[in-house]
Amino acid sequence: MSTRRDAVRQTLSESSGFRSAQDLYADLRADGSKIGLTTVYRALQALSDSGEIDVLRNDDGEAVYRACGTESHHHHLVCRVCGTAVEIEGPTVESWAAETGAKHGFTDVTHTVEVFGTCPRCSS
């Protein structure tokens, strides 16, 4: 059965930015769902395990999730006011990270990149 998981996935997809678990839970309840907080966490974990969504931590240490349009490796440009995220790609960064890692003798190099700013709508 995956009704609940789908509900979580859908709610997340309808959002344009990163959402916290608590946040999504509130949304779901507001929509009349009788879903429990535990289930929201389980759904989010399952979704991130299967690679359907991205997880990262905000500065408060809260886990935030996002359903991405593409499954390939990419980064985000996030508005620090409204949270809206734009998916971006940076071949430049990819290769720079790989080279830098290699230069120091590191192997299995991975990286995380997040770009923050104020989006046009929020800055006006």
CB 53 within 8 A of CB 44: yes
Residue with tokens 């985000």: 76
Q: Cα dihedral sign for 5, 10, 13, 14?
A: negative
* 30 binding DNA? (CB under 7 A): no
Question: Binding of DNA at residue 10 (CB under 7 A)?
Answer: no
Region near DNA per CB under 7 A, out of 55-63, 88-96, 99-107, 108-116: 55-63
Yes or no: say if 78 and 84 are a contact pair by the CB < 8 Å rule: yes
106 contact choice in a copy of itself, DNA, none (CB below 5 to 8 Å, kind-dependent): a copy of itself
Alpha-carbon 54 to chain mean position = 4
Least distance between a copy of itself and beta carbon 67 (Å): 19
Among residues 38 and 70, whose Cβ is nearest to DNA?
A: 38
Q: Cα–Cα distance between 20 and 12 in angstroms, integer?
A: 10
- Phi, psi dihedrals of residue 7, rounded to the nearest 5°: -60, -45
Q: Indicate whether 67 belongs to the interface with DNA (CB under 7 A).
A: no
Which residues are near a copy of itself by CB under 8 A? 57, 59, 61-63, 77, 79-80, 86, 88, 90, 92-93, 96-97, 100-101, 104-120, 123
